[in-house]
Amino acid sequence: MAILRGSISGDFFPRIKITVRNPSNGAERGLDPVIDTGFTGFLLMPLEHAFSLGLDGRITIPVVLGDSTVRAYSGTIVQVSVSNSRGARGVGLFKKEETKDQGKGSDCFVGIQFIRIFGPMFVLSNDAVALADEEDAENVASVLGFDPVKF
């Protein structure tokens, strides 16, 4: 699998550009979510994004958030792709509350389930982020622009 490169935003959060697709009607939308390792789910996005894609909240799932609170969110299956990687299906959850969530200044989040599918290696540098398979470990440093440290 390719190394997926993201960035560190002006608010100092790791982000990765994704495309979310409704598998039922083919509608797509680009998003720039925060990669939140405290979020146990796949994708969390505002309800208005779900409506624009024609998605409905068929299921309800409890999710552990970064502050350890548990909330129930409605959601449905979505297709997500990142740059030139293969797509993956996961549960896209929709939030009704204020779009600036968890103090991160973002309206969208990808979590641990996303990292497991598209990683499972998650690497941060001063200005970039990468998701990669273990076999790509030696190449991550050059993709992020720093010299690897050998142990």
| Least reliable range by pLDDT among 42-56, 57-71, 88-102 | 88-102
Instruction: State the average pLDDT for the chain.
Output: 79
Residue 139 CA from chain centroid, whole number: 22
Classify the phi-psi angles of 114: left when phi > 0, otherwise alpha if psi is within -120 to 50, otherwise beta: alpha
pLDDT at 94: 80
Instruction: Return the domain boundaries, the chain.
Output: 4-139
pLDDT tens figures, 60-89: 888 777 788 888 888 888 888 876 566 777
Q: Locate 41 and state its tokens.
A: 């789910």
pLDDT at 147: 60
Count of CB atoms situated within 10 Å of the CB of 83: 13
SS3 content of the chain, % helix, strand, coil (to 5): 15, 40, 45
Q: Are strands 43-46 and 109-110 parallel, antiparallel or unpaired?
A: antiparallel
Q: Tokens 């990765």 appear where? A: 16
Pick the CATH number of 4-139 from 3.40.47.10, 2.40.70.10, 1.10.10.60, 1.10.8.50: 2.40.70.10
pTM of the predicted structure, to 2 decimals: 0.77
